[in-house]
Structure 1
């Protein structure tokens, strides 16, 4: 049987590495099915020049990564792999430019993307707060955002190349870590999200070159521009915005300054201003119609106005406006770029829509693969029992065209291209515990169609109906003795490889494997650093721990939920005992509608002890106040600290703000 190649229309050149010979080959038109590696660069990566001579390449530390990636690819029948370190000739500026503009498509066109996390161990499940998964450097790099979003299939591997899970099975965890909505990993088109929301996904990520902060986002916004290293990050980002504006009339792009806090900004609704919704860049700035209103605050000056973006917050429906300072008759410049105003209605602003020009403050120079199956060839499913599940035996040999291989842990089923259902039943010889896998021909794409059920009961399909099957690459069900997990490994051929794992009931990780994380709409922005007389005190702990906790340079986000309406923040220095605890919480019947409160605890108790004292009400630490003060004492100094909480007044994660002064 021959397997189709897939044409990538926009690529001029793609260079792939043969997984057997480790030789590079160039492709210009018919690109074969390939896997792609996503990783963070380490010392002595193998370059394009190195891979020309394998003896030279083997001397570099990075060769082990290339070799192991090829080994894994070969294990799943991939002849070709793309690895950025050695498949791009970075000494050619033209090729580098082409690769940067094509990078998103490289990952989008791959059959599967293997994410190698060199700093992660599979010891704990990623939902376990003890896991190093959430702390991986891969989640903090700029280029890896598009490598997370673009591919159809993503599998995460730990430092020993052991499978951790997939983007689908870990979608709630990955969403918690990255702030990318879980719906994106369930198939929602990223183009349905506002420009501001997509900008927010990249806000906390870092790149080695400042310009790459902008270049790494080109594919996410569907734009191209030549990279100019040396122009600086600010100019590169301005060019990116200008390219986005050429293809989008979404005014939320002007709310991006709120960076990581702009994830709640919906796309603008320009219908309310009719044919005046278009805008463009001229040589004197941005030409645009904007609804203007006075600020109502004389301290800001008579020349400062509020301009509505016509964007609403997903959280409370309020409309966003930004500040403009008038410099001449129709000329304005943006001021207070880190502030936005919230308005309950647009009506006052819509009474005064003006055509104006907004100038940017000058920047100072500083020293394709869709993988759809179009043929109607039979598809082979190979089902493997991993070592943990080999106490199960396949007992169903009549209702399905099952092929037993010499390997007792593998059976294969050939699916024909008509609406037929096949099933495999597995049982334990002694206890009789059973589960059934039902398979369906993959009509709509390269994703596996299967369901996993406990037991061995007959299963009937209504005539001429499609099964509401799982189009994912991972399913887990609890049984009386543990949990049965099934996932699909994508292969270089059109076969499917299903792998079955069993997690014993006594495993400490079973609950993390089978639970689902859910984000909270409420929470606190708190300082992550405090400057005291004795020096800088840092936020060194949050109890109970939560994967949705996020820390930036000077602030942190602390989520609140109905299950955990209380968190204990521990401040101190990494090398010494904690200086104090700051409980924060929301008191009321609902975490979203609760009243915020805080306190300062200077007793030498652990965060867990303080938490229990509030939950059980066993100590005087149950004070719940909007503002409180305490004395911090040491042998050499004494200092007063005040904690206060208030509702948010600018774009931010969560609903409240904690101040420590």
Structure 2
């Protein structure tokens, strides 16, 4: 069935494709569909939707007729809206178990293939609500309750998962979110990003990934004058090529996560730029670079004087410095008036079912999950229609400004007690929402109201155990009532997951881009290189990322308050990088990097050879590390250059003295 208008409430499935998925053609012949392994996924997704009273679910594998090029093109251009308009998104992680909490380093959550795929980026950002489910369809958590973990995995700021409009982030930042994601077809690296920038373009498979990504950038330029689209770093494979101003893939934005949108107002009517048949037309403030500041050995001295620095007028989120340093601008005094862009209306705001309780009853269904079924409801209220060993229904009259109630639960075996407070309300758009209260006593008086946008609330009991209440969205109508489904979970004290349950990850203060390999150059054999591979990062860094030639590691300021334990927030004021050579003459190099009030620092030692090193400042961006004794045959030069693209770059040059 196809809906063009009056779209009913629906949920949507996000997943990674496996062998023998159910197709549009298969679903029309259930005998064929049931014979495929992928049918179990469709069946379980539908069962979950029905459990929460939704009549409709959209699944990309079997809801798009890929044999129709017109339908496929429409679906690709509309995919972001499909997920944005859904009432909730179920994310099925077939390679994850809910045995460990996602904050636990032993959890497979961060290693899920789902976080590495290109199309799942918009499926993570677009929906109003996101629920993560493990391989057995058990709930892992919601996007909101796990926003710190998901942010650490994806590099997407937590504010995005708390409702901030992604249009407030620069083009470069949004591109960086896709830098490490992969797609089966190279062209999809561009097509899967169209929704993030609000553009449409015809998919042309077989045009090649670079051409498709070039078209994507051209379409973005048609609607945006944000010059951060040019704030990228060439991939190592193209370092020796002459390049224009456009990137060739999202990977080249891997170091652009902290680039703010350009301040184009400062150049007045020169802010616009456009494409012509001879290339990109743009005004840029240029500044000649002195020869002595060029530390690039392969630039011929005859052409150094023709190298200029062009400012994109973009600032760093970290310290508001320009990238690169802004050149002086003429005093331009011409007014430019820009039309505001009209946002696309979201159809879910018009869903009549959300307004069903305006003149009726709001029903709360509170269910104890198996982990919490040793509790019993010891006190209900006159508003409680039914309560039993595992669940309770509570009806609250609306509109009644005093409509609220409290359910008290107690465990006969442990003596633990907690109370759940229920307070309905409507938001600014007249949509039903709720406040929750949760306390470790038999009353919710004095407990803080949970933000109505928060879908999970957690309370530690006096015993050290944790109780959590999660709101599961329900669909459909029950007479004139709207049902709020609340599920209570319990984590006992002593559980291996207890340390990760309520402690959010501490966001790092800075990051380093470090090489994956070090090369030792021998003076006696000029062409000989002995690579050392990066083998270990200590303490464990939850925020680390690995690129083609570099790794990203994070540090926190030692002077900042907070828990630096690697098993707590994952943050630390230093990282120890171990490089090991696996050749005939094994050797190990340890590099320490850190952050202090005075700025970033680095140190190098050779544990296998007993050398220790002292740091000597050579210039504002270079540190020389010298052995404390004269017996060492090795000298290092460590360069830390602020890229203004979100990180420090650590360069190690290892050569015989």
TM-score band by shorter chain is 0.7 to 0.9
1:567 aligns with 2:553: no
For 1:271 and 1:141, locate their aligned partners in 2 and report how far apart those are by CA, in whole Å.
37
Select the residue among 289, 293, 300 that pairs with 2:283: 289
SS of 1:133's equivalent in the other structure is coil
Counterpart of 2:515 in structure 1 is 527
| 1:254 Cα deviation from its structure 2 partner | 1.4
Specify which of 532, 546, 551 is matched with residue 551 of structure 1.
Answer: 546
Deviations 1:36-78 (A, max 9, x none): 1111111111111111111111222211211121122222212
Gaps of 5+ in 2: 234-251, 293-300, 334-345, 477-481, 521-527, 559-563, 565-571, 616-622
Which of 6, 15, 32 is matched with 1:56 structurally? 32
Of 558-567 and 193-202, the range deviating more from structure 2: 558-567
CA distance in 1, matches of 2:549, 2:423: 52
Question: 1:184-214: CA deviations, max 9, x gaps?
Answer: 1111110100111101111111111111111
Q: How far did 1:309 drift? A: 1.1
Give SS of 1:459's match.
coil
Mapped contact 1:473–1:488 kept (Cα < 8 A): yes
Cα separation, partners in 2 of 1:369 and 1:136, compared to 1, 3 Å: farther
Cα distance between partner residues in 1 of 2:289 and 2:583:
48
Q: Residues 207 and 426 (structure 1 numbering): CA distance in 2 closer, same or farther, change over 3 Å?
A: same
Counterpart contact for 2:438–2:444, Cα < 8 Å: no
Alignment of 1:304-315 (within 5 A): 304-315=307-318
Q: Specify the alignment match of 1:646 in structure 2.
A: 639
Q: Deviations over 1:205-260 (max 9, x none)?
A: 11111111111000000000111111111221121112112221211111144511
Provide the C-alpha distance between the structure 2 equivalents of 1:118 and 1:217, rounded to a whole number of angstroms: 24
Q: 1:185 to 1:573 in 2, by over 3 A?
A: farther
- Which has the larger displacement, 211-220 or 519-528? 519-528
Distance 1:483 1:301, change over 3 A: same
CA distance in 2, matches of 1:81, 1:397: 35
The CA deviation at 1:378 is: 2.7
Cα 1:28–1:648 change in 2 (3 A) is same
- Confirm or deny: 8 A CA contact 1:381 1:497 kept in the other structure: yes
Secondary structure of the corresponding residue to residue 228 of structure 2: helix
Separation in 2 of the partners of 1:118 and 1:643? 46
Q: Judging changes above 3 Å, is the alpha-carbon distance between structure 1 residues 543 and 150 closer, same or farther for their aligned structure 2 residues? A: same
Confirm or deny that 1:318 pairs with 2:321: yes
Structure 2 CA distance, aligned partners of 1:426 and 1:474?
18
Deviation at 1:573, TM superposition (A): 7.8
- Is 1:129–1:546's contact at 8 Å kept on the other side of the alignment? no
Moved more, 254-263 or 76-85: 254-263
Q: Give the structure 2 partner of residue 634 of structure 1.
A: none
**Correspondence for 2:92 among 107, 113, 116:** 116
Q: Distance in 2 between matches of 1:137 and 1:568?
A: 28
User: 1:468: how far off?
Assistant: 6.2
> Following the alignment from structure 2 to structure 1, what is the Cα–Cα distance between the partners of residues 123 and 426?
27
Q: Is the 8 A contact 1:383 1:500 kept in 2?
A: yes
Give the length in aligned residue pairs.
568
1:453 to 1:95, Cα distance in 2 relative to 1, 3 A:
same
Among 583, 586, 603, the alignment partner of 1:597 is 603
Residues in 1 aligned to 2:85 and 2:517: alpha-carbon distance in whole angstroms: 43
* Partner in structure 1 of residue 269 of structure 2: 275
What value does the CA root-mean-square deviation take over the aligned residues?
A: 2.9
Residue 402 to residue 225, structure 1, CA distance change in 2 (3 Å):
same
Per-residue deviation at 1:430? 5.9
- Which stretch of the first structure deviates more once superposed, 143-152 or 302-311? 302-311
Q: Is 1:598–1:644's contact at 8 Å kept on the other side of the alignment?
A: no
SS at match of 2:578: strand
| 1:238-637 equivalences in 2 (<5 Å) | 238-257=214-233, 258-297=252-291, 299=301, 300-320=303-323, 342-343=324-325, 345-346=326-327, 348-350=328-330, 368-371=346-349, 373-375=354-356, 376=358, 377-398=360-381, 401-405=383-387, 407-415=388-396, 416-419=398-401, 420-429=403-412, 432-444=415-427, 445=431, 447-457=433-443, 459=445, 469-481=451-463, 482-493=465-476, 494-530=482-518, 537-561=532-556, 562=558, 563=564, 564-572=572-580, 580-586=588-594, 588=596, 590=597, 593-602=599-608, 625=615, 626-628=623-625
Residues 581, 297 of structure 1: alpha-carbon distance in 2 compared, 3 angstrom cutoff: closer
Distance 1:32 1:642 in 2: 69
List gaps (5 residues or longer) in structure 1.
Answer: 1-24, 321-341, 354-367, 604-619, 631-638
Q: Which residue of 1 aligns with 2:243?
A: none
Structure-2-length-normalised TM-score: 0.80
- The structure-2 alpha-carbon separation of the partners of 1:119 and 1:643, relative to structure 1 and needing over 3 Å to count, comes to farther
Q: How far off is 1:640 after superposition?
A: 8.0
Looking at structure 1, the residues matched to 129 and 586 of structure 2 have their Cα atoms a distance apart, in angstroms, of 44
- Residues 544-581 of structure 1: CA deviation (Å, up to 9, x unaligned): 11210111121101111233223232334899998525
2:134 pairs with 1:158: yes
Structure 1 residues 423 and 527 mapped into 2: Cα distance closer, same or farther (>3 Å)?
same
| 1:414 match: secondary structure | strand
Aligned partners of 2:386 and 2:394 also within 8 Å: no
Deviations 1:416-474 (A, max 9, x none): 2332322222223465432222222240135543122221236389xxxx966442111
Asked if the contact 2:519/2:530 (under 8 Å) is kept, the reply is yes
Q: Structure 1 residues 284-293 or 470-479, which shifts more?
A: 284-293
Task: Tell me which residue corresponds to 2:650.
Answer: 657
Q: Residue 113 of structure 1: CA displacement?
A: 0.7
Cα deviations by residue, 1:359-396 (Å, 9 ceiling, x for unpaired): xxxxxxxxx44357344143221101112212222233
TM-score normalised by L of structure 1: 0.80
1:274 to partner: Cα distance = 2.1
